A and B are shown apart, each in its own frame.
Chain A
Amino acid sequence: MAYLETKNLCKYFGGLKAVDQVNFQVKEGQLQSIIGPNGAGKTTLFNLLSGLYIPTQGKIFFQGQDITDKKMNQISQIGVTKTFQITHIFPRLTVFENVRISAQSRKTSFNFWRKADSLEDINDKTMKILERVQLAASHDRVASILSHGEKKYLEIGIALATDPKLLLLDEPTAGMSPAETILATELIRTLRDKLNLTIVLVEHDMSVVMKISDEVLCLNEGRVLACGSPNEISCNEEVQRVYLGGRKEC
């Protein structure tokens, strides 16, 4: 049984077929990248998977459960959490609080009397996540002053705090310097290897895709163009024509 699966998934905005009859599967523990030119439907697909959009047609299954009509907060509680392409952090809260409030989501929050800071298990979990995304030293800084790369790490930290089973990362290395990209790639690889997370990644940086993906899906104009191992995809003539450019002899 596929861990995450879509069946004939469609999202139409009036006449525009943003996602058209997409069938794809992700196995548990896998890291799958989604590539494709701008406008291919990658972010729309992500928004369908995370519950931001309701599909026009088709179905989405997670661990065999039909999550097609579920809302975004319900899908997060089920175990699928996403990061946003443009960083979505809590700007005026501290780095610590950014992650802590996300971690708190797994406990009941209609608690009006306890001191939020006395939830020790959540505090410990938050610190561990901050160490993993290398933001422990900045934990009491206001999030808005972080650098762009640090904000992207914080974004990942916020997603990790929800104890996801499957992580949807939307262009996690966008705007990062080469050095930051290498570190981010390692971080993402660790999430799969050490934390056994299943990860679906939208990426434009092919070096990242080639380095860590188990499977690559290429979208074009809302449809699946090709799906296979990184090597197969980079050798695929159609993919080369539409997206990669150049010709690779395989």
Chain B
Amino acid sequence: MKANKENTSNTRTRSRVIWVTLAVFLIAPHIISTPLTTEILIFGLFALGFNLLLGYTGILSFGHAAYFGIGCYGCGIAVRDFGFSIWGGLLVSIIMGILLAAVIGAIAIKKKGVYFAMISMAVAQMFYFMALSPLKKWTGGEDGLKFIPKLSLTFPFHVDLQSSFPLYYFVYFVVGISILVIWRILNSPFGRLLQAIRENEERTIASGYNVTMAKFVSLIFSGLFSALAGGLFFVYLGYGPLQTLFWLTSGTILLMTILGGMHTFIGPVVGVAVFLYAQNKLSWTMERWELVVGILFMALILIFPEGIVGTIKVKYLARKTAAQEVGEAE
């Protein structure tokens, strides 16, 4: 009996999810505010990177702001102080993300659950305070990374990054390629190994896998894409805010990922979109907008316990299986 390739496994993401997402984001900036869509793309990439570690490998990090922030500052300092191009700056973001992940991994990857989360948070806070004071000369401290020259792209053709549409499509290009790469990684033998680790780490070891190495590599990928998102954030703002390193950023990305559905591929992006859109729409209409967003979040989690995409997927699959069984019985 041949294996049914169209099975209801939650480990496989169909390619059409990717193409639909890319198509939606192709036209989205013409429908809703362009800066908002740009932010959704950037934080969406951050969330995908974060979820590689959380949703797929089962490792919780409370310190992902460190990667985002180091990517932002890394790109900014490379561009402002070393005359790097935008591409060069983003490459610096990626390298910084990889290096930081390697260091944190070397220290903490063998630690269980809570301990890893705490260590990652401690490291992120350390970076925050270093940027705030001792490294103020480089980072601008509380004011953030300022005095950035007007950003533009010159290779392979000129793109004026001061205008919202060219800037958007530049970010779209980088994020789009990243989404495709992350998708390939998660559908590869390595991606399946990560999910096995999440489901039962001891069984995975007993089947002969070097789980410590796999977790380490997962952290590297996660740091890489989170830092790249940080670099894009710098390009989008033309400035490097200190908040990127703050623990609130770590908390927010976790929130948005869970809201969208951490056991799905595209869930985190949906969570980011819903959260940022709600924040945008509610922030100038009310004084206590944070309270409203908080209540909205709680309500959404109650309605969608597996996250928005996760719950929809579970309900859809349940209905599909039930229909199949009825079909078989007839």
Contacts and interface: CB of A to CB of B under 8 A. Distances in A.
Contacts of A92: 10, 199, 263
Nearest to B192: A116
B11 A93 contact: yes
B206 A50 contact: yes
Contacts of A131: 1
A127 B2 contact: yes
A117 B5 contact: yes
Nearest to A111: B189
A84 B200 CA distance: 12
- Listed residue (A81, A88, A142) with the most chain B CB atoms within 10 angstroms of its CB: A88
A111 B188 CA distance: 7
A82 B7 CA distance: 29
Given A101-B192, A117-B5, A119-B189, A158 B203 contact: yes
A187 interface: no
Interface string A143-173: 0000000000000001001100000000000
Contact of B195 (A93, A114, A139, A162): A93
A248 interface: no
Interface stretch (A12-20, A72-80, A205-213, A222-230): A72-80
Contacts of A88: 200, 202-203, 206
B110 interface: no
B193 A109 contact: yes
Given A81-B206, A101-B207, A158-B203, A96 B9 contact: yes
Contacts of B190: 109-112
Interface of chain A, main secondary structure: mixed
Contacts of B12: 117
Contacts, number: 128
A74 B203 CA distance: 13
Interface string B155-195: 00000000000000000000000000000110111111101
Contact of B188 (A72, A94, A113): A113
Nearest to A77: B208
A94 B8 contact: yes
Given A94-B8, A101-B193, A127-B3, A106 B208 contact: yes
Contacts of A108: 189
A136 B4 CA distance: 11
B8, B191, B209: residue with the most chain A Cβ atoms closer than 10 Å: B209
B196 A101 contact: yes
A112 B194 CA distance: 11
B217 interface: yes
B211 interface: yes
A90 interface: yes
Contact of A116 (B188, B204, B208, B211): B188
Nearest to B12: A117
B214 interface: yes
Contacts of B211: 73
A112 B184 contact: yes
Given A96-B9, A109-B189, A115-B188, A84 B3 contact: no
Contacts of A77: 208
A85 to B, nearest CB: 12
B14 to A, nearest CB: 12
A202 B12 CA distance: 37
B207 A140 contact: no
Contacts of A5: none
A44 interface: no
13 contacts: A72-B205, A89-B203, A90-B203, A91-B199, A96-B3, A97-B9, A101-B207, A102-B207, A111-B189, A113-B188, A117-B187, A131-B1, A161-B207
